[in-house]
Amino acid sequence: MKYDREKEVEFLIERELKPNGITDERVLAALYKVKREKFITESLRDRAYGNYPLPIGEGQTISQPYIIGLMTQALEIKSSDKILEIGTGSGYQAAILAELSSVVYTVERIETLSLKARTNLYSQGYNNVIIILGDGTAGLSEYAPYDKIMVTAASPGIPDSLMSQLKNGGKMVIPVGSRFVQDLQLVEKALNGRIYKSSLCGCRFVPLIGKEGWDD
């Protein structure tokens, strides 16, 4: 049967995302627009819009669309926002963020993935994404502070560097917990610098490996 992207993405949005609380119009429009099939290997293309994670090589995965929607929606991104993403992976989440904000800095520790993400993003015109190779647990002090921070790998705690690189009035989403199961946390830094944390849901991410994360 011929692959019908529009039908697949509409089914995902109407049947899996909206009924489960992903309702922000800008977020849904970005999920509709960004071609998930371009960020995964050709052989998985007909599964691009299933509501499950997919392998992207090097033992890493791209999150399920529901989690991507939930994390993106929680950040309440404005078109003027400067965003930091930790865990570039395929570059798919960075593309979603790039649709909604002004600039996205994304850090990945595995070179092959970073290079592939670069091709994926730039071939599709995402020139407002800056791709950096390195240990994202230390954040990216050169361009700090950030309006929003998204961590797409599981951390034993909230790295101090990331907390300090978040603007007052900013928000961060990060999976915090053990190596195998985590709590997806929304961290809000008030204008006076006070920190408020809430839990979005249980989740399971690949580990954040680095100085302020897990050991290799």
Question: So which residues are the catalytic ones?
Answer: 63
Q: Which of 36, 60, 139, 170 binds ligand SAH (CB under 6 A)?
A: 60
Q: Which of 30, 77, 110, 176 binds ligand SAH (CB under 6 A)?
A: 110
The nearer residue to ligand SAH, 81 or 93, going by C-beta atoms, is 93
Q: What is the 3-state secondary structure (H, E, C) of the chain?
A: CCCCHHHHHHHHHHHHHHHHCCCCHHHHHHHHHCCHHHHCCHHHHHHCCCCCCEEEECCEEECCHHHHHHHHHHCCCCCCCEEEEECCCCCHHHHHHHHHCCEEEEEECCHHHHHHHHHHHHHCCCCCEEEEECCHHHCCHHHCCEEEEEECCEECCCCHHHHHCEEEEEEEEEEEECCCCEEEEEEEECCCCCEEEEEEEEECCCECECCCCECC
CB of 151 to ligand SAH, least distance (A): 8
The nearer residue to ligand SAH, 12 or 110, going by C-beta atoms, is 110
Binding piece for ligand SAH, criterion CB under 6 A, among 43-51, 140-148, 176-184, 204-212: 204-212
Give the residues lining the site for ligand SAH (CB under 6 A): 56, 60-62, 86-87, 89-90, 92-93, 107-110, 113, 135-137, 152-153, 206, 208-210, 213
